[in-house]
Amino acid sequence: MNSKKYNMWLQYQPVTDSKVKEQYQLLLDQVCVIGDGIQLQAAKEELLVAVPQMLDKKFNVSNDPYNSRFVIGNKIKLAQHLDESKQAKLADKNEEAFLLSSDEKQLIITGNSDVAVLYGVHHLLRLMQLHADITQLDIVEQPKNQFRMLNQWDNFDGSIERGYSGRSIFYQNNQFAEDKTRIKDYARFLSSVGINAISINNVNVWEEETYFITKKYLPEIQEIASIFRTYGIKLYLSINFASPVTLGDLDTADPLDQNVQNWWKEKTKEIYEYIPDFGGFVVKADSENRPGPFTYNRDHADGSNMLAEALEPFQGKVIWRCFVYNHLQDWRDRSTDRARAAYDHFKPLDGRFHENVILQVKNGPMDFQVREPVSPLIGAMPNTNQMIEFQVAQEYTGQQIDLCYLIPQWKEVLAFDTHIKGEGTTIEEIVAGNIHHNKYSGVAAVSNIGDDENWTGNTLAQANLYGYGRLTWNPALTSEEIAKEWIRQTFGTNQEVLDTIEDMLLNAWEIYENYTAPLGVGWMVTPGVHYGPNIDGYEYSKWGTYHFADRDGIGVDRTKETGTGYTEQYQEPHQSIYNDLDKVPDELLLFFHHVPYKYTLKSGKTVIQHIYDTHYKGYEQVEGLIEQWNGLSNDIDRERFENVKNRLERQLENAKEWRDQINTYFYRKSGIPDQHGRTIY
């Protein structure tokens, strides 16, 4: 496939600006590739695809650095071509750092490793797609985060848990995809934005997937690992904690049992025979019916350390998810608070985890809602490796039908100052490893791709995948910068397209929040599906997800005095801010407090009027998005235009249902009419 929708942000459209083109043509007549590492080969391949397309000319590979204007290679191979100042620039940087250096006569891309050069090449191609001047480059970049990971929630049967873009590109009907083209192209896209780790199967490891770590499937996984390796991406597998039992070898999976420990050691050794640079295990244990150490009266440290010991000789990691809570809660029980669960479970274990265990903590205490406070667990375990987990897949944020550009949400999370080690202890610095200086840290996220030709269902949802990579590489980038970059590369140079889509993207999260669950209360979605409104859908459920709306008011009291005490999991000043009705930010009010419908927000509106206003507004804003998009009908190719148009129309239907159900529900309950007398059913 080589369609515009398929190519996402690697369109490599011909450069039409003649001056720019001339400049590029001059420097990029040929490339001299010094070295033969596989990632260097991938860089070369990418150039051979991109440059001829963009510059409408032949583009050759040369072996002669002295007669080449364009030279790439890692800093060892290129040593004699790098003066001291250039060498110095890379000296204190990490393995993935690259250098782009140019003048009118020569362009050098080098780096501290081959994959760094690949990143540098992608950076050049990005600059070229943005029509930047490439004759005065002096760019040194290294990724701020060590782990920049994606989790595929793909099942072996080809379905994808929380997938909204078709079926798996990895599996079909309990077989590995025979044609690996899409896997390779996915790796290209990921490496272009700096992703360096991937787990390729669902964290819910079902029966047959349990066998992924056996001879039955390792040869095929080996092949996939080598595709990703070419692009600098380490392969991980989600494993079933009960594997020793499920695979039929033992009658226990007790992590303190010597036989179990040996079993995992042997098993791990076997995996590394197939994949010498295997990343390690991703584990969802004792969570939502998945097996784990609790079965044997052991804890998460026991469970993860046992796996860590098996992986340690090979430098493998255990990525242990902290999404642990009582999913069989009685809705009548108000003493249990799901928001508390991750912290309550893991915080006491700080210091007990091995050096190659990394805890993966969701960004919020609940589950990827449109609005949640930041998880108080992140940064709260100074002696434990942690990664934050985002969700690129729009599970609760419109399922790639509705537009929801998530970078602003993630930016807000990263900017949150936990005060765990005083002011400036932001999530951004914590996950970058700059606060606790643990061995490993970083970012993971659930992928949003499938085998839809455009990868992400809604073409505009490609921006979230792009932005996830860019942001984890460089969290200093703004949402606007990332949007601009993505739009230019994806849709070209038309200024109206650029401005319009940028505006659409930047407002999308707020719009989605406006017409869905209000003021941080979350969850008013159709159970199971998680799309569309169902205000009481989770109210009498086992999932710990309640809003407690009655005729007088709504919200969850999580204060220390009268509520669940969840606020105490935060450092000051957050503890006091969240705990205090007068200080809590409006957008999180109902997450922390139960208030009357007539309670006045800091905005000056009552809660009920805020609900009405945001829901009418949200719907109108979607109408606005449609109008904006329709204005681009002549500026965007038909296929991508129609794809987004169709999704926006479905979004409008969804917004209408949300608006009317939310407003009707709260009007029926509160009896308080809309100040503006708009229609409520």
* Residue ranges that bind a second copy, judged by CB under 8 A: 331-332, 533-537, 540, 549-552, 657, 660-661, 664-665, 667-671, 681
Question: Has 288 been annotated as catalytic?
Answer: yes
Burial grade of 601 (CB within 10 A; 0-12, 13-18, 19 or more): middle
Going by their DSSP bridges, the two strands 441-446 and 385-391 should be labelled as: parallel
Nearest residue (CB) to a second copy, 257 versus 657:
657
Please tell me which residue in 46, 286, 372, 395 is annotated as part of the active site: 395
Nearest-approach distance from CB 309 to a second copy, in angstroms: 43
Nearest-approach distance from CB 540 to a second copy, in angstroms: 5
Nearest residue (CB) to a second copy, 300 versus 547:
547
Nearest residue (CB) to a second copy, 222 versus 664:
664
Which residue, among 419, 280, 450, has the nearest Cα to 357 in the 3D structure?
280
DSSP output for 272-323 = HHH-TT--EEEE--SSTT---GGGGT--HHHHHHHHHHHHGGGT-EEEEE--
Question: Has 395 been annotated as catalytic?
Answer: yes
Cis bond leading into 573, ω under 30°? yes
Nearest residue (CB) to a second copy, 215 versus 551:
551
Beta carbons of 551 and 671 less than 8 angstroms apart = yes
- Any idea which residue has 């009896």 for tokens? 671
Nearest-approach distance from CB 669 to a second copy, in angstroms: 6
Return the H-helix or E-strand segment holding 619: helix 607-630
Which tokens hold the place of 146?
A: 């060590």
Nearest residue (CB) to a second copy, 517 versus 535:
535
Which residue, among 374, 393, 383, 371, has the nearest Cα to 346 in the 3D structure?
383
Nearest-approach distance from CB 664 to a second copy, in angstroms: 7
Strand blocks (E) in 340-381? 357-362
Nearest-approach distance from CB 335 to a second copy, in angstroms: 12
Cα gap 628→673, rounded to integer Å:
32
Nearest residue (CB) to a second copy, 324 versus 595:
595
With helix as H, strand as E and coil as C, how does 283-297 read? ECCCCCCCCCHHHHC
Nearest residue (CB) to a second copy, 506 versus 672:
672
Nearest-approach distance from CB 527 to a second copy, in angstroms: 9
| Amino acid in position 222 | Q
Please tell me which residue in 367, 389, 502, 587 is annotated as part of the active site: 367
Nearest residue (CB) to a second copy, 620 versus 639:
620
Nearest-approach distance from CB 332 to a second copy, in angstroms: 4
Please tell me which residue in 288, 333, 499, 623 is annotated as part of the active site: 288
Q: Give every CB contact of residue 84 below 8 A, 6+ residues apart in sequence.
A: none
Cα gap 656→661, rounded to integer Å:
8
Angle (CA) 387 389 392, round 5°: 145
Give me the residues paired with residue 441 across strands: 386
DSSP output for 48-104 = HHHHHHHHTS--EEES-GGG-SEEE--TTTTGGGS-HHHHHHHHTS-TT-EEEEE-S
Nearest residue (CB) to a second copy, 629 versus 665:
665
Give me the residues paired with residue 360 across strands: 321, 387
Nearest-approach distance from CB 656 to a second copy, in angstroms: 10
295-298: Cβ within 8 A, 24+ apart: 295/242, 295/253, 295/254, 296/252, 296/253, 296/254, 296/255, 296/256, 296/257, 298/254, 298/255, 298/256
Cα gap 515→522, rounded to integer Å:
12
Nearest-approach distance from CB 589 to a second copy, in angstroms: 19
Active site residues: 288, 367, 395
